[in-house]
Amino acid sequence: MAKNITYVIKHTKDSPVKVLLETPAGAGTQIGSTVSSFKKVLSLIKSELDDDKLFNNRVGICLDTAHVFSSGNDLRGIGVEYLEYFCREMHDLLDEPISLIHLNDSRVGLNSRRDIHAGIGQGFIYGDKSENSDMVSYLSFANLVHYFTGRIKRVGGGKYNVPMVLETHGAGGLEKDMGQYKQEISLVKEVKAIGKKELDKYISIVSGKGKKKKSKKLKDRFKINIVPLEDKKKTVKGTKVNRGAVSRNGSHYILYKENKRIVELLELVKKYYVITRDPIRTNAYSMAAYQIKRYPYRIKAGKDVAHLDGIGVKMVIKIDDILARDTLLVIEALNIERVVREHEKKNHLNLKLFLDLDLKW
C-alpha cells in the first residue's frame, strides 16, 4: 500500500490534493487499527517518498470517530487524552497530523471491529447505549468538537482547526436523512458556541471536582436529542402535538390536486438538477417535495407550508407561482421538461441496447 501511495504522489507532484489515510474500524484484515501499526504505514510512505516537504504537503490523516471506537479506543470519556495521544504520536511524522474528522457515532460497541455508523446521540459513543448519562455524552461530544476547532490548546502548542464531515445517515435522499443532518450541524454549532471556561466548569462538575449543580434545567440543556422529523413530537399539557404538521406515510398529497401538482413540478425540477449535477439545488427541491408529500392539508398558498423545514422564502414564492400559473418560471426559462424528457429517452434507448446485446450473447 505504501508503494502504491508513493507511486501516485510521485507521478502527480504538481497536484495540491492530499492523500488522507483514514483510521480503520479494525475489521477483518484491515491494517493500521492500532496507533503503532498506523504510524508504521505512515513511516513506510515517508521513507519511500524520501522527501519531507512532499510528504507533509501530500499526505495526511482522516480520523473517523466511529472507526477509532470500534477498533478498541474509548472516546466516551469527557477528556481528550486518547485524541492527544494519537495526535502526538502522528506529529512525530507529520507537521499537521489531522487533516479531516469524520464525526460519527457507532451502532456497535467498543472493540467490535465493525464499521457501522450511527447518528450523533443514537449509538454507543454519545447515545443511550454509551453507558454515560446524557450530560456526560453531551460534554464528551462538545470537548471533542472544541479540541479540533481551535478551542483547546494541543500538546506542543498551537491549536487545531480541522474540517469535519458527518457520515451519520444515508446519503442521496431525504427519506434516509429525515432532517437529522440539519439537527446535527446545529448541535455542532451549539457546542462550539459554548465558552471554554463554561465547558471546563461543567466538565469539572460531572467529574466530581467542581461544585455540584445538577438541576433538571442543566440536565435538559446538556442533552443530545437528534430525532427524525416524522418522529419529532412534543407533549404540551398532556397532548401530543406534531411539530412539523406532517403525515407519517407521506401519501396525503395525492388527495389534493394542488398538493399533487406542486410535488410533480418540484420533482421535475429536481430531476433537471440531478441531470445537470447541481447537488445543492437537487437537495433543496427534494426537501421541499418531501415535506409537501407529508403535509396533511390542502395547500391554498405558499405561506401554508412556510413553517416546514426546507421551505424557505424562495420556495414559498415558487409554490405561489405554481398555484397561480400551474408552472414555474425556472421550468420555462431552462426548458426543463424538454431536457428531462430527452434524458429519459436516452436512458431508455441505452437500456434497450444493453438488453438487446445481452440477449444476443
Span 283-303, average pLDDT: 90
pTM exceeding 0.85: no
On whether both 179 and 86 belong to a single domain, the answer is yes
Lowest mean pLDDT among 249-258, 296-305, 314-323: 249-258
Q: Please say whether the beta carbons of 141 and 224 come within 8 A.
A: yes
Distance between CA atoms of 146 and 191, rounded to whole angstroms?
Answer: 8
In one-letter notation, the amino acid at residue 97 is: P
Residue 214 above 80 pLDDT? no
Long-range contacts of 2-7 (CB under 8 A, 24+ apart): 2/41, 2/44, 2/45, 2/47, 2/48, 3/48, 5/45, 5/59, 6/45, 6/48, 6/49
C-alpha distances in Å from residue 82, one per residue of 30, 35, 79: 21, 10, 8
Phi and psi torsions of 318, nearest 5°: -65, -40
pLDDT, residue 361, reads 46
pLDDT band at 350; cut points 50, 70, 90: low
On whether both 219 and 257 belong to a single domain, the answer is no
Percent of the chain with pLDDT over 90: 54
131-176 confidence digits (pLDDT tens): 888 888 999 999 999 999 886 666 666 788 899 999 998 765 555 6
Distance between CA atoms of 164 and 95, rounded to whole angstroms?
Answer: 19
Span 272-287, average pLDDT: 92
Span 85-96, average pLDDT: 91
What CATH number is given to the structural domain containing 304? 1.10.150.110
pLDDT, residue 70, reads 95
Other Cβ atoms less than 10 A from the Cβ of 260: the count is 14
On whether both 260 and 216 belong to a single domain, the answer is no
Distance between CA atoms of 228 and 180, rounded to whole angstroms?
Answer: 6
Distance between CA atoms of 115 and 180, rounded to whole angstroms?
Answer: 20
In a domain, 265, yes or no: yes
On whether both 219 and 325 belong to a single domain, the answer is no
Q: Could you tell me the three cell numbers for 326?
A: 400551474
Span 90-108, average pLDDT: 93
3-state secondary structure of 102: strand
State how many domains the chain has: 2
pLDDT, residue 56, reads 94
pLDDT, residue 219, reads 59
On whether both 188 and 80 belong to a single domain, the answer is yes
What CATH number is given to the structural domain containing 189? 3.20.20.150
Q: In a 10 Å sphere around its CB, with 0-12 CB exposed, 13-18 middle and 19+ buried, how is residue 259 labelled?
A: buried
Q: Please say whether the beta carbons of 337 and 268 come within 8 A.
A: yes
Q: Please say whether the beta carbons of 94 and 42 come within 8 A.
A: yes
DSSP 105-131: EESS-TT-----EE-TTSSTTTSGGGS
On whether both 62 and 159 belong to a single domain, the answer is yes
For the chain, the average pLDDT equals: 84
Q: Please say whether the beta carbons of 86 and 80 come within 8 A.
A: no
Residue 265 belongs to what domain range?
A: 252-355
On whether both 215 and 148 belong to a single domain, the answer is yes
Percent of the chain with pLDDT over 70: 82
Distance between CA atoms of 142 and 130, rounded to whole angstroms?
Answer: 15
Cell numbers 405561489 correspond to: 320
On whether both 182 and 113 belong to a single domain, the answer is yes
In a domain, 241, yes or no: no
pLDDT band at 317; cut points 50, 70, 90: very high
DSSP 246-313: --SSS-GGGGSHHHHHHHHHHHHHHHHHHHTT-HHHHHHHHHHHHHHHT--S---SGGGGTTSTT--H
| Cβ-based neighbours of 337, under 8 Å, separated by 6 or more | 268, 331
pLDDT, residue 173, reads 56
On whether both 220 and 297 belong to a single domain, the answer is no
The HSE-up count of residue 193 (CA atoms within 13 Å, CB side) is: 6
On whether both 53 and 172 belong to a single domain, the answer is yes
Distance between CA atoms of 142 and 221, rounded to whole angstroms?
Answer: 13
On whether both 196 and 326 belong to a single domain, the answer is no
Residue 248 above 50 pLDDT? no
